[in-house]
């Protein structure tokens, strides 16, 4: 597995180098410099989006069993940092987030089930966002061969998401639990090992349609809100676009990066996707790659402190800090009372 990750990272690095060379390194650097304050604004937009995602995750918990809002946001931030910066196939941070939630008296099975449901909601709303982007693309530039390719890709993604929801039925539990133990091994994961309890918690989550609907609404709004990153960056670079065009670029580029989850950070794939999609609106390759680099600065600005926060949380528990008493065992004991 490590060898495949290294090979994927090397392939991404080669692709990234080729895309930058094709786009013109000088033109890319000029566009990055012209972005100026847009980079800071993009970081702030990303931070707000992650906070809202944390709220969307927390809404999936049954009423009375939710995390404190600030804890949900903190752990969602940690999940994002791990997924963006570490080679964990874009989901390892979610499993670690479930484990960390048990430090705040969240029952292990509920933490695990809530994260699985949150991944499903995010995947489903991202697909809807991509469909919206494809529809806007047809409306703005008309039908074309690339539209057909994108539609085919979204069709395959839809099948994958349906499969993921089916895995949340009884047959998929052991797979989820095996992945979690592999990515975040530790004795705390014994709290997540009861398959029956895991499914009971999943049923509780989906039996609360108000919470699920609210979570879907929040995540959907976050995807659209994230399009501001594209709109702001191109405005500062001197390539103003409409917000509808920003939605197309953001939604389809996110879909392209998601399809390349095996490559750490979607390196090279994200840049190539931006070049191809932005070309549909007459935006040169240099600014398109510069947009990707601005987003990567945001990944680092958000992700690196998140990794520090993760280690701080782990350290407090290891050293017997206040959170050490809020482990999985406490949550399970609480659930039995």
DSSP result, 26-43: HHHHHHHHHHTTHHHHHH
Answer yes or no: are the C-beta atoms of 107 and 334 closer than 8 Å: yes
Q: What is the helix (H) or strand (E) element at residue 312, kind and residue range?
A: helix 285-318
What's the rounded mean pLDDT across residues 159-167? 78
What percent of the chain has pLDDT above 90? 51
Q: Which two tokens stand for residue 190?
A: 């014994």
Confidence check: pLDDT of 311 > 90: yes
The answer to whether residue 245 sits within a structural domain is yes
What's the rounded mean pLDDT across residues 101-129? 93
**Cα separation of 94 and 109, whole Å?**
14
Answer yes or no: are the C-beta atoms of 323 and 99 closer than 8 Å: no
Phi, psi of 168 (to 5 degrees): -75, -5
Nearest to 122, CA basis, from 161, 86, 95, 88: 161
Q: What is the pLDDT of residue 43?
A: 96
Confidence check: pLDDT of 70 > 70: yes
Q: How confident is the model at residue 148 (pLDDT cuts 50, 70, 90)?
A: confident
- How many CB atoms neighbour CB 47 within 10 A? 16
The answer to whether residue 192 sits within a structural domain is yes
Q: What is the pLDDT of residue 173?
A: 58
**Cα separation of 105 and 120, whole Å?**
24
The answer to whether residue 8 sits within a structural domain is yes
Helix ranges restricted to H, 2-107 = 2-23, 25-35, 38-58, 69-85, 92-101
The answer to whether residue 334 sits within a structural domain is no
Whole-prediction pTM: 0.84
Q: What is the pLDDT of residue 177?
A: 60
Nearest to 136, CA basis, from 285, 295, 234, 243: 243
Confidence check: pLDDT of 245 > 70: yes
Q: How confident is the model at residue 206 (pLDDT cuts 50, 70, 90)?
A: very high
Q: How many distinct structural domains can be found in the chain?
A: 1
The answer to whether residue 74 sits within a structural domain is yes
CA 61 to chain CA centroid, Å, is: 19
Answer yes or no: are the C-beta atoms of 294 and 42 closer than 8 Å: yes
CA-based end-to-end distance of the chain? 42
The answer to whether residue 233 sits within a structural domain is yes
Range of the domain at 72: 2-329
Confidence check: pLDDT of 289 > 70: yes
The answer to whether residue 337 sits within a structural domain is no
159 or 101, which is more confident?
A: 101
Q: Which two tokens stand for residue 287?
A: 């600014």
- How many CB atoms neighbour CB 58 within 10 A? 23
Q: Which two tokens stand for residue 250?
A: 């953001």
Q: What is the pLDDT of residue 310?
A: 95
Q: What is the pLDDT of residue 332?
A: 34
What's the rounded mean pLDDT across residues 168-194? 56
What's the rounded mean pLDDT across residues 191-215? 83
The answer to whether residue 163 sits within a structural domain is yes
Q: Which of 60-74, 130-144, 241-255, 263-277 has the lowest mean pLDDT?
A: 263-277
Nearest to 206, CA basis, from 283, 98, 118, 336: 118
Confidence check: pLDDT of 111 > 60: yes
- How many CB atoms neighbour CB 101 within 10 A? 26
* Tens digits of residue pLDDT in 16-39: 788 888 877 788 888 888 888 899
Nearest to 104, CA basis, from 80, 60, 74, 62: 74
Please give the sequence-ordered ranges of beta strands (E in DSSP) within 152-194, or none if there are none: none
Answer yes or no: are the C-beta atoms of 42 and 235 closer than 8 Å: no
Q: What is the pLDDT of residue 329?
A: 39
For the chain, what is the mean pLDDT? 84
């Amino acid at each position: 597995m490590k060898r495949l990750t290294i090979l994927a990272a090397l392939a991404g690095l080669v692709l990234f180098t080729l895309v930058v060379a094709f786009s013109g390194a000088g033109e890319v650097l000029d566009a990055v410099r012209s972005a100026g304050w847009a980079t800071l604004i993009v970081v702030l937009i990303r931070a707000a989006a992650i906070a809202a995602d944390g709220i969307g995750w927390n809404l999936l918990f049954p009423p009375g069993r939710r995390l404190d809002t600030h804890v949900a946001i903190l752990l969602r931030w940690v999940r994002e940092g791990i997924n963006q910066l570490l080679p964990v196939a874009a989901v390892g941070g979610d499993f670690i987030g479930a484990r960390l939630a048990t430090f705040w008296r969240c029952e292990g099975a509920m933490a695990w089930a809530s994260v699985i449901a949150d991944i499903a909601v995010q995947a489903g709303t991202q697909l809807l966002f991509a469909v919206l982007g494809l529809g806007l693309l047809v409306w703005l530039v008309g039908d074309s061969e690339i539209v057909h390719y994108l539609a085919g890709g979204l069709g395959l993604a839809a099948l994958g998401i349906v499969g993921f929801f089916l895995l949340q039925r009884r047959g998929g539990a052991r797979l989820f639990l095996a992945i979690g133990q592999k990515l975040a091994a530790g004795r705390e994961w014994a709290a997540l090992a009861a398959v029956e309890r895991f499914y009971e918690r999943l049923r509780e989550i989906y039996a609360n349609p108000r919470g699920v609907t609210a979570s879907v609404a929040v995540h959907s709004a976050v995807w659209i809100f994230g399009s501001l990153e594209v709109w702001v960056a191109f405005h500062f670079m001197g390539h103003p676009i409409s917000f509808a065009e920003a939605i197309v670029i953001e939604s389809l580029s996110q879909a392209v990066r998601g399809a390349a989850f095996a490559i750490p950070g979607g390196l090279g794939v994200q840049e190539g996707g931006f070049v191809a999609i932005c070309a549909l609106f007459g935006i040169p390759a240099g600014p398109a790659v510069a947009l990707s680099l601005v987003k990567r600065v945001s990944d680092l600005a958000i992700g690196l402190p998140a990794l520090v926060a993760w280690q701080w949380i782990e350290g407090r528990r290891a050293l017997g800090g206040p959170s050490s008493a809020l482990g999985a065992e406490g949550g399970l004991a609480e659930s039995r009372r």
